[in-house]
Copies of this chain bind each other. A is one copy, B any other.
Amino acid sequence: MTKIECVVIFAPNQNHIPYQFMQNLHQFQVAFESYLKNNEFKNSPKELYEPSNYILSLGGKRLRPAILLAGHYLFDDEVQKSLPAAFAVELFHNFSLMHDDIMDAAPLRRGQLTVHKKFGLNSGILSGDAMLVLAYESLLQTESPQIVHLMKRFNQMALQVCEGQQMDMNFEKSQNVSIEEYLRMIELKTAVLVAAALEIGALIGGARKEDAEALYEFGRNLGIAFQLQDDILDAFGDPKKFGKKTGGDIAQNKKTYLYLKALEIAPTAMADKLKALYTSQSMGEADKISAVLEIFEQLNIKKLTAEKKEEFWKYSIQALVSANTLSGRKAMLEKFAADLMNRDF
Contact = CB atoms under 8 A, between A and B. Distances in A.
A129 interface: yes
B130 A162 contact: yes
A133 B147 contact: no
**A contact face: mostly helix, strand, loop, or mixed:** helix
Contacts of A43: 163
A156 B141 CA distance: 13
A52 to B, nearest CB: 11
Contact of A155 (B125, B133, B155): B133
Interface in A145-195: 147-148, 151-152, 155-156, 158-159, 162-163, 165-167, 169-170
Contact of A99 (B129, B134, B166): B129
Contacts of A134: 159
Given A163-B44, A166-B48, A102 B125 contact: yes
A147 B116 CA distance: 36
A132 interface: yes
A32 to B, nearest CB: 22
Contacts of A269: none
A58 B269 CA distance: 50
Given A47-B170, A166-B48, A167-B45, A155 B126 contact: no
A103 B48 CA distance: 14
A40 interface: no
A102 B103 CA distance: 13
Interface residues of A, number: 36
A239 B54 CA distance: 45
Copies of this protein in the complex: 2
A159 B43 CA distance: 11
Interface in A97-121: 99, 102-103, 121
Contacts of A152: 137, 140
Interface string A33-77: 000000000011101100000000000000000000000000000
A155 B170 contact: no
Given A122-B169, A129-B132, A170-B45, A137 B155 contact: yes
Interface of A: 43-45, 47-48, 99, 102-103, 121-122, 125-126, 128-130, 132-134, 136-137, 140, 147-148, 151-152, 155-156, 158-159, 162-163, 165-167, 169-170
**9 tightest A-B CB contacts, nearest first:** A48-B166, A130-B162, A103-B122, A133-B158, A45-B166, A133-B159, A136-B155, A137-B155, A140-B152
